Structure 1
Amino acid sequence: MKENSKITEDDVKEKIRKKNMIGDYLTYPVMAINFLKSDKKIKPLYYKYNNNKAQYILYFAPQIKENESAKKQVIIYIYGGGWREGNANLYKFVGRRFAKEKYHTILLGYRLTPKYKYPCQIEDIFEGLSKALEVLKEKNIDYSNIVVIGSSAGAHLGALLVYNKELQKNYNIDNNIFKGYISLGGPTDLNVCTNEVISAMINQLFEEGYDRKLGNPYNYIDGSEKTRVLCIHSRLDPICDVQNSINFSNKVNSFNDSLADCIIFENKKIYHNNLVNGIFFKDMDNEHILDKVFNWIDSL
């Protein structure tokens, strides 16, 4: 830095963000250990919805005893990974966790960037949901109470699933089935996704020249929605800025007051990975965030 250069507020924020990135990286070893030792007894059913290896869904039956009933909410979960990493199989631990809480749960797989550019991802999500509804219908499962949950990039796709009415019409999806939407550290307003980490991901997601407004969930909120919203974020998230959740929930509430809830954690040990993924392991959920998620879902 030059001797006479002035340190700006943005410089300070970026320095803090990079420090928080180190904290985020340090959560990965614990995550890996929990992943390896997690219970794998619950086996999902696998269904293809197209020919690509990523185009499939996983159905987890609720774990109920003979005298018990499944919960009425059906969970549709979309995993994250910057739109470029992962697959639904890697996130079976999420499906198992919801199944143990007696929810019918479906994980949606989708094609990844950079090979497949947007809108391939959201097209897959809609096709995956269509297949999911077909499977639920075959099993005589009521799907009029769907809760869409997404982690990180999955929350971005989940918001588009719930809020893009044009695509819902194209895929013959009734918006009224979406009773709840939950974003776990998601980029729900691309306008504030400006740091170097998430900017690189977004640049890889969209083809050069593509109108990114079409891929921004924030732009699809118009006040006609009745879906309850829960945005959960960490103030220290070094990848996806907390302002995403603030902006998204505020816009929802600007049309329908109290329709959206926004929970922001100030804990110095909660970053990105241990919020969007780690909460599904009890050893990593010291703030009992997942219990808050379950309670919120059950209130719908």
Structure 2
Amino acid sequence: MEDNKKEEKEQIKKEKEQKKLEEKKSKLERKQKKIEEKIRRKNLLGEYLTYPSMAVNFIKADKKIKPEKYIFDKNKAQYILYFAPQLKENESPKKQVIVYLYGGGWREGNANLYRFVGRRFAKEKFHTILLGYRLSKKYKYPAQIEDVFAGFNKALEVLKNKNIDYSDIIVIGSSAGAHLGALLVYHKEMHKKYNIDSNIFKGYVSLGGPTDLNVCTNDIITPMLDQLFEEEYNREDANPYNHIDGSEKTKVLCVHSELDPICDADNSINFSNKVNSFHDGLAECIIFDNKNIYHNNLVNGIFFEAMDSEHILDKVFKWIEKLN
């Protein structure tokens, strides 16, 4: 009897000690979260301070290069823009075709607004396509990815009619556009539905993109995702990370800022690590820790030379050259 009482006391003591440890751990975790949140808020201020410079460069941007517009459905957002490479006499275009998807939290923007990106690629002698898509919160996912695939097929039709070889496509996405771009490259069921040969995707570039929705949990990106999806929608199918299965041969470049207050750099780290877990070296991940690089001035600002202090876009171009 006494032995049983002794055991009970020891068990109670252990449970109390365990409870204290758990409380201490919880307290430390809350403290760490507060520290992280304080840092993120500071980075968010830095993010906002990049906006005036972005606006000035947008206004000053060269608008001489005119794209061709092609409509693929009835909604005003359902169109693509084609930019011809800007060539001097006796020059040839780059063999890769760039397919670019703009960001804006899935709820803002349009292809016309991002013509400065198409012009930048055209100046580098690339055939370039910008894909338009419907926005949340009016249009819930999968409307966006359906438009991306339908627009992509329209792009292939346009390129074919122009006798342009599209067997070497590089998909590049900024922010939310990188999420949709990853699904364009990796969603095999959608490839079947839209009759797309995934072998044409030679490269994929994510610029500050939410490529692993599991780590998109802060109080800025969470409301964006809540607006994008219906409450009961299975988000697992919309997570690019989940569609990596090792069958892919597409080279990957993920570029992110450690100070990004909107989309955590773990997105790029996790995505590239999973790709490399199947094929070591297939993905490259560049994380910048420069004090002045946040989100907007990486995902959009690098297309303006005056804002690209780290020559990030040059690194992207050099990476594309190595794919030859």
TM-score where L is the length of structure 2 = 0.91
The correspondence of residues 37-76 of structure 1 with structure 2, limited to 5 A, is 37-76=60-99
CA distance in 2, matches of 1:66, 1:261: 35
1:36 to 2:88 alignment = no
CA distance in 1, matches of 2:45, 2:74: 39
Please report how far the alpha carbon of residue 5 of structure 1 lies from its aligned counterpart in structure 2 after TM superposition. 10
Please report how far the alpha carbon of residue 65 of structure 1 lies from its aligned counterpart in structure 2 after TM superposition. 1.4
Structure 1 residues 5 and 136, CA, compared in 2 at 3 Å: closer, same or farther? closer
Please report how far the alpha carbon of residue 224 of structure 1 lies from its aligned counterpart in structure 2 after TM superposition. 0.2
Please report how far the alpha carbon of residue 83 of structure 1 lies from its aligned counterpart in structure 2 after TM superposition. 0.1
Structure 1 runs of 4+ off > 2 angstroms?
4-7
Partner of 1:13: 36
1:240 to 2:255 alignment = no
1:215 to 2:233 alignment = no
SS in 2 for 1:231: strand
1:115 pairs with one of 134, 138, 154: 138
The correspondence of residues 251-270 of structure 1 with structure 2, limited to 5 A, is 251-270=274-293
Deviation readout 1:169-226 (Å, 9 max, x if unpaired): 1101000000000000000000000000000100110001100001100000000000
Which amino acid in 1 is paired with 2:49?
L
Partner of 2:180: 157
Partner of 2:214: 191
Give the superposed CA RMSD: 1.1
1:227 to 2:277 alignment = no
Which amino acid in 2 is paired with 1:233?
H
Please report how far the alpha carbon of residue 298 of structure 1 lies from its aligned counterpart in structure 2 after TM superposition. 1.3
2:272 pairs with one of 249, 258, 276: 249
Please report how far the alpha carbon of residue 66 of structure 1 lies from its aligned counterpart in structure 2 after TM superposition. 2.3
Deviation readout 1:65-117 (Å, 9 max, x if unpaired): 12010000000000000000000000000000000000000000000000000
CA distance in 2, matches of 1:215, 1:104: 29
Deviation readout 1:139-195 (Å, 9 max, x if unpaired): 000000000000000000000000001101110100000000000000000000000
Please report how far the alpha carbon of residue 49 of structure 1 lies from its aligned counterpart in structure 2 after TM superposition. 0.3
Partner of 1:87: 110
- State percent identity of aligned pairs: 75
Structure 1 residues 122 and 268, CA, compared in 2 at 3 Å: closer, same or farther? same
For the pair shown, the structure with the greater C-alpha radius of gyration is 2
CA distance in 2, matches of 1:189, 1:146: 23
1:100 to 2:123 alignment = yes
Please report how far the alpha carbon of residue 7 of structure 1 lies from its aligned counterpart in structure 2 after TM superposition. 5.4
Which amino acid in 1 is paired with 2:290?
N
Structure 1 residues 59 and 19, CA, compared in 2 at 3 Å: closer, same or farther? same
Please report how far the alpha carbon of residue 299 of structure 1 lies from its aligned counterpart in structure 2 after TM superposition. 1.2
Please report how far the alpha carbon of residue 228 of structure 1 lies from its aligned counterpart in structure 2 after TM superposition. 0.1
1:128 pairs with one of 147, 151, 156: 151
SS in 1 for 2:256: strand
Partner of 2:45: 22
Partner of 2:296: 273
CA distance in 2, matches of 1:18, 1:77: 30
SS in 2 for 1:214: helix
Which amino acid in 2 is paired with 1:228?
K
Structure 1 residues 146 and 237, CA, compared in 2 at 3 Å: closer, same or farther? same
